[in-house]
Amino acid sequence: MAGVLALAGGVGGAKLVWGLAQILTPDNLTVVVNTGDDDEFHGLHVSPDLDTVMYTLAGMANPETGWGLVGETFQALAALQKLGAPTWFNLGDRDLATHIRRTELLRKGSTLSHVTEQLCQHLGVRCRVAPMTDARVRTTVTTDQGVMPFQEYFVKHRCEPQVKDLVFKGADWALPSPGFDKALREADAIVFCPSNPFVSIGPIMALQGVRQRIELFKGPRITISPIIGGEAVKGPAAKMFRELGEEPSSLAVARRMSGLCTHFVLDNVDAALVPQVVKLGMQVEATNTFMTTPEDKIRLAMFVCGLAGVSLK
């Protein structure tokens, strides 16, 4: 194995991952996905970021929400509500099949890596998609309204509480999954997709030994900033920067990545920040990083692969 190891959260990460999958052969792409957001609903194991990446690569994702399946219905959820179950976490009817199958295979003793491989295979995803770890890591958010699991903060409270701290429970003892471990040993380049630095990239970096292994990684390590013009494209990244005491900007992202990355890609609208990011010791490139169309995703993926020096399909 060689090629690109892409590290991703959900929606932002999945956009670039889709672009990479269009231009790299399947054995030249391994996607490692955050599982700190995983949780249990109605007795089922839900892996929101893994599913976003998997559905996006399978061409089944809902383009409007960025999560869930296209053309989804919610009859099972309505029925659960009628039965008195809490239904603040949206689960579509077809999406439920994924969680039922995942939970059943996990209960029979499969690892999350193995289950993910199986699900991807059945949905026609050809590159490798692996959870960051097979161990249980859970992101917990300390807020002005108390300590809560990530999905409660993100979905139930719509990211409204003020964030004071983030804890990745279990990460200190969690080893990278076998697919992640292999890619760390064999990949030619590491790409940090434009994902939330705190709650998508943060848990991956918190796993046992991962930060150090990435610091020692010999090939190019490239971050694409998820902050454009001082704001997040979607989600709470900018709000989290402010609440944790820093002005959101690509410079703030770059500070978090210095030492981990050799290259930093920011948006053209932030080109004025280039000299300051260069001072952090990275090669900095400005380009259009806002992805809406398939062409945007492929173009940015080509740009990143150019920096990584990996051969295309």
Cβ neighbours around 40 below 10 Å, total: 12
- 225, HSE (Cβ side, Cα atoms, 13 Å): 34
Nearer to ligand GDP, 105 or 198 (CB): 198
Positions touching ligand GDP (CB under 6 A) are 8-13, 15, 49, 52, 194-196, 200, 224-226, 228, 232-235, 237, 289-291
Closest distance of CB 145 from ligand GDP, Å: 20
Give least dist CB 109 to ligand GDP, A.
28
- Strands 283-287 and 263-267 turn out to be parallel
CB of 76 to ligand GDP, least distance (A): 23
Cα 273 to Cα 249: distance, rounded to the nearest angstrom: 9
- The nearer residue to ligand GDP, 67 or 105, going by C-beta atoms, is 67
User: Is the CB of 196 or the CB of 262 nearer to ligand GDP?
Assistant: 196
Q: For Cα atoms 80, 54, 224, give the angle at the middle one, nearest 5 degrees.
A: 120
Q: Residue 137 is encoded by which pair of tokens?
A: 């890591």
Q: How far is the CB of 67 from ligand GDP (least distance, A)?
A: 7
Amino acid at 276: Q
Nearer to ligand GDP, 105 or 202 (CB): 202
Contact call for residues 306 and 284 (beta carbons, < 8 A):
no
Nearer to ligand GDP, 134 or 267 (CB): 267
- Cα 21–chain centre separation: 15
Q: CA dist 235 to 8, 88, 148, Å? A: 15, 18, 18
Collapse the DSSP code of 11 into the 3-class scheme (helix H, G, I; strand E, B; otherwise coil) and give the result.
helix
Helix, strand, coil abundance in the chain, percent, nearest 5: 45, 20, 35
Residue closer to ligand GDP (CB basis): 98 or 289: 289
Closest-CB residue for ligand GDP? 12
In whole angstroms, how close is the CB of 12 to ligand GDP at the nearest point?
2
